[in-house]
Amino acid sequence: MKHAWRARKEAYLEHLAHANASTRRVSLADKLYTRGELLADVRREGEATWHRFAAGRADQLWYHRSILDRMRSAGQQGRLMEAYAAIVAELERIADDR
């Protein structure tokens, strides 16, 4: 199951590399919302949050960071990017504190 998860995420990252700016903005808005919810859950529930996913904390953090890096490489900028970067950084900080 983990292999399938990773393959799907890598395919999505490849899609982002070639997507137009509008598609990236919609994706970013979606990721911003869902990662904001994830951050709230991690703050409230702690480590147990990560066990709800097909992939563990390290893989999830890799994916979030990879989305951010892919968006930056594609030239995505603005408030959505700043907000998403802040959430990813906070998720990484919390994970490092554990």
The total domain count for the chain is: 1
Residue 56 backbone dihedrals phi, psi, to 5 degrees = -75, -175
Residue with tokens 């408030």: 79
Can you give the pLDDT at residue 89? Answer: 97
Can you give the pLDDT at residue 54? Answer: 85
Can you give the pLDDT at residue 98? Answer: 67
User: Which pTM was predicted?
Assistant: 0.89
**Burial environment of residue 59 by CB neighbours within 10 A (0 to 12, 13 to 18, 19 or more):** middle
Domain that holds residue 47: 2-97
CA–CA separation, 66 vs 9, rounded Å?
A: 9
Can you give the pLDDT at residue 66? Answer: 97
Residue type for position 27: S
pLDDT tens string, the chain, 98 residues long: the values are: 556 999 999 999 999 999 999 999 999 999 999 999 999 999 999 999 999 988 999 999 999 999 999 999 999 999 999 999 999 999 999 988 76
